Amino acid sequence: MTGRVIVVGSVNVDLVVWAPRLPRPGETVLGGEFARHHGGKGGNQAVAAARLGAPTTIVGALGDDDHAADARAALATEGVATDALATVSGTPTGVALIVVDPKGENLIAVAAGANAALTPAMVAEALERLVPAPGDVVMAGHEVPTAAVREALRRAREAGATTILNPAPAEGLDRGVFGLVDVLTPNHGELVELIAAEARRTGRSGGAAPASTAALAAATLAEPGPEGEGARAVLVSLGSRGAILVRAGVPAVDLAAPAVEAVDATGAGDALNGALAAGLAAGLDLETAAHRAVVAATRSTLHPGARGGLLDTAELDRRLAGLPR
């Protein structure tokens, strides 16, 4: 039996420029092409899970502007339930400004808008109505306030649901938050930030976590702290290298990504998180779900826009056929 995916996170409108190259600070780069897409990490993750067949609901906040109606309709069209999206009067819907270069690398700046107004009380009210249960997956992203994220994870953990935290951005998170998490999903940069924050908290020296030692760095986040806090598993995404799955007391698993010619990496992390949640909600074991998620994320970079390359189940299965584990 398939459980549900409940995403607690952001919904944005993405304003994208494909530029000849990424600008340096203070520099203007001409010759770009513009497009408008729907985005926000929460919205993208919800769409990714829904396309893979998971019954999916998003909990978040929209403004009362024209962007809000379009964003809600785009999610509903993808099969994502939007009745837990609150409307915040007098506040704009979140907007992301994105620049993408010919290799698919990007720079992103976000105006949070209504996303910043999501409160623990709003999350609590939504989850009381949704009633998460064992078999469900509650996934939270950090483009909404930390207090709202903590409330979502706490209630989900108490209900016996599986919890995922995408620590993007990583600033402001500590063991008090990711100690409520079954799977923590940082990228390499976010892993470095979390390790540095852990070093400041404990007084130990902390440095960068190059890809070759990412597994060792992630293991420190999966180990219980003095009060028993720690993520049960850490899935570190490493771009074109794939990902590393780390669990305390278990050898790390290297999940290689298939080779592709990336067009736009925007939303690849969201594709990974959505696919991971859908796999776990479908009853897959963590390693299998993570492997599928890496392939889904890699495949998403072949199309422009954060949602343009998100796969359905049939296409993901075709991509997985014949791939080595």
Q: Which of 174, 182, 270, 285 is catalytic?
A: 270
* Contact in structure between 275 and 293 (CB atoms under 8 Å): yes
3-state SS class at 258:
coil
Tokens of 95: 């907007």
Tokens of 299: 């495949």
CB under 8 Å to 10, separation ≥6 — which residues? 40, 41, 42, 43, 60, 94, 110, 112, 115, 141, 143, 144
φ and ψ at residue 129, rounded to 5 degrees: -80, -35
φ and ψ at residue 15, rounded to 5 degrees: -105, 110
Q: In what order do the strands lie in the sheet with 106-111?
A: 33-39, 12-18, 94-100, 106-111
Q: What Rg value do the Cα atoms of the chain yield, rounded?
A: 18
83 is catalytic: no
- Amino acid type, 161: A
Nearest Cα to Cα of residue 4 among 65, 49, 62: 49
Give catalytic residue positions.
Answer: 270
